[in-house]
Amino acid sequence: MAEFRPFRFATGSFTMTRDGLLADASKAEALGYDAFFAADHLFDSLAPIPMLTAVAEHTRMRLATYVLCNEFHHPVIMAKDAATLDVLSGGRLELGLGGGYIPAEFTMAGIPFEAGAVRFERLAEATQIAKLAFEGSTFSFDGTHYQVREYTPYPRPVQQPRPPLLLGGGGRRLLAFAAAHADIVSVIPASAPAGGVRVTQLTLKSLKDKVTFIRDSAGPRAADLEVNILIVQATVTADRKAAAAAFLARLAAQPGIFALDGELTLDEALNSPYLAFGTEAQIAEHLQRVREETGASYVTVFPHLADSFGPVVSRLANS
């Protein structure tokens, strides 16, 4: 029998008050979630590092940035903030980094929304700078976008050689970079050029193809990589087919965050690693099948789904 990494589950909070945040964190810990995440947006969310510092004082969960937008943070300052959080939490940080993807945020802040290739180049350089900073030795860096001169980083993170680094995406360029540099690879559906998550990328086949590409790209590192997926929709119900059909009907009428770049069949929706329909037992079995076929063992759940997903977390704990 093939051996798989044990399941881990993460959720977070989009509340804007201290009491609400700590209540969400305490509830997540009681439900059995392993990690608590903070997003990084200029609207509708608390700043991630201060937010997770507060959570660190009230829970024992791991703390994840999911993910910091590189364009909002200079990498030297980001690395110092991250190392400080790792110190203050006793070594519980998981550092997720990304290039940003919502043009409106950049426009509001007066930050240029560069082409995807440029944002990728900047993210790649920032990742290298962060790794050097976590090592603790004086270093310089001469990149196209960032230059660092004889910087001695303080503090050193508790976790050595560094806090686990999460990178990922839906396209091959980002996934290949993650395969070479990350500890955790988050595999998400690719976005359409005009924005929105491609519905054709929600399929199990899509995830399997991407994981194969990641492992081929990683070479000897492949066995050390943890694969993360995000549950974007979940319905606990006794009739999973009806729930999936209702989701597809809503999708056709009001796509929301999705881009209708093709058809998603009922069977594809039922087998999607990013969707979950059925009883708690059926959803648990579904995630076990996904892990068996892709190796994905780290599951992030949107905050509004955390309560209903709790019994699934309990079923799969330590398995």
The domain 1-163 is classified under which CATH number: 3.40.50.620, 3.30.390.50, 3.20.20.30, 3.40.50.300? 3.20.20.30
Give the model's confidence band at 1: pLDDT under 50 very low, under 70 low, under 90 confident, else very high: very low
**Residue 19 to residue 6: CA distance in whole angstroms:** 32
What is the reported pLDDT for 2? 59
What is the reported pLDDT for 192? 84
The domain 173-314 is classified under which CATH number: 3.40.50.300, 3.10.20.880, 1.10.730.10, 3.20.20.30? 3.20.20.30
Give the residue-averaged pLDDT of 261-282.
Answer: 97
Beta strands in 31-190 (DSSP E): 35-38, 62-65, 68-69, 93-98, 139-142, 147-151, 165-169, 184-187
Look at residue 195 and tell me whether its pLDDT is greater than 80.
Answer: no
For residue range 279-302, what is the model confidence (pLDDT) as tens digits? 999 999 999 999 999 999 999 999
Give the residue-averaged pLDDT of 298-308.
Answer: 97
CATH 3.20.20.30 placement within the chain? 1-163, 173-314
For the whole prediction, is pTM greater than 0.95?
yes
Cα separation values, 268 from 190, 245, 255, 262, 272, Å:
17, 11, 17, 12, 6
Give the residue-averaged pLDDT of 121-138.
Answer: 98
Look at residue 135 and tell me whether its pLDDT is greater than 60.
Answer: yes
What is the reported pLDDT for 225? 98
Q: Give percent of the chain above pLDDT 90.
A: 92
Look at residue 313 and tell me whether its pLDDT is greater than 90.
Answer: yes
Give the residue-averaged pLDDT of 121-145.
Answer: 98
For residue range 199-256, what is the model confidence (pLDDT) as tens digits? 999 999 999 999 999 999 999 999 999 999 999 999 999 999 999 999 999 999 999 9
